[in-house]
Amino acid sequence: MSVELLNIDCMEYMKTQPDNAFDLAIVDPPYGIGESGKTNKSRGKLATAKDYKPFHGEDLEPPPEEYFAELQRVSKNQIVWGRIILWIAF
């Protein structure tokens, strides 16, 4: 088994891969919720506008449908991790 680390846009890379190139893809895409990812004071209770921290990052839009189509094309199984949900397709 080998491990290869790449610093490349995932859409560019997936387009170069054949169908079912990977047995499993575990991904953590942006959620499009506009939070910084830092813990907010409101977790576990009713939130008010003042409880949210300013957004700093690139989590403005969720991935396009094309992303998920390519992900399913290049991998036999997918785990898409999200803040609220865990989507597993086997």
Whose structure tokens read 């919720």? 33
Cα 12 to its chain centre, rounded Å, is 16
Q: Where are the domains of the chain?
A: 10-89
3-state SS, residue 65: helix
Q: Which amino acid is at 4?
A: E
Q: Which long-range contacts (CB under 8 A, 24 or more apart) does 18-22 make?
A: 18/74, 19/73, 19/74, 20/73, 20/74, 20/75, 20/76, 21/74, 21/75, 22/74, 22/75, 22/76
Tens-of-pLDDT digits for all 90 residues of the chain?
Answer: 788 888 999 899 999 999 999 999 988 887 766 665 555 555 555 555 555 556 566 667 788 899 999 999 999 999 888 655 555 555
- The answer to whether 10 touches 74, Cβ cutoff 8 Å, is no
